[in-house]
Amino acid sequence: MSSVYNVAVIVGSLRKASINRKIALALADLAPANLKLTIVEIGDLPLYNEDIDVDTPPAAYSTFRQQVSSSDAVLFVTPEYNRSVPAPMKNAIDVGSRPYGKSAWSGKPGAVISASPGAIGGFGANHHLRQSMVFLNVPLMQQPEAYLGGAGSAFDEAGKLSESVKPFLQSFINAYGQWVEQHKKL
């Protein structure tokens, strides 16, 4: 029998009604039995500044680091801003990676899904995020790649996931469940 792995979900958009938040919640509903997905909020993190990250770092830094550190895996759900990740996502990555040598991210099996109303589904953000994760020692799932273009139509007016998108998300989260299982046993 599989263990249940706690997955810290980092959503790059801060809007409460964002498409990416809706996708994260849909993935939590579709997750296989071995994954428990929990969104770790990033909106209250002060911009990373080593001057304030001293003996008593901001409470928001400490809380965030503890939430990521105590998770078994990480899942990034992000829009694309100017062919890269949104500033809050990059800030969260920086906060979690400090202090140097004590990264909350290190060794946690991860995955990235990007979504955009545009046709290429956040390809640039997805790949920029992958570059950071290589440096931070996060083994990222390579396949299936997950770019959701035309994401504005992924949910109906009532917020229900489109039946045309559901198989894509189901396939992705099932593969991620296998990825986490495989890498947590190493």
CA–CA dist 134, 156 (Å, integer): 36
Closest C-alpha among 10, 122, 142, 25 to residue 64: 10
CATH number, domain of 92, equals 3.40.50.360
Work out the percent of the chain whose per-residue pLDDT is above 90.
Answer: 87
- Using the predicted structure, report yes or no on whether residue 43 has a pLDDT greater than 90: yes
| Predicted confidence (pLDDT) per residue in 162-182, tens digit | 999 999 999 999 999 999 999
In which domain, by residue range, is 119 found? 5-184
Bigger pLDDT: 184 or 18?
18
| Predicted confidence (pLDDT) per residue in 124-148, tens digit | 999 999 999 999 999 999 999 999 9
CA dist 186 → 72, 108, 112, 175, 183 (Å):
13, 11, 21, 17, 5
Whole-number pLDDT of residue 180: 98
Give me the number of domains the chain comprises: 1
User: What is the mean predicted confidence (pLDDT) over 29-41?
Assistant: 98
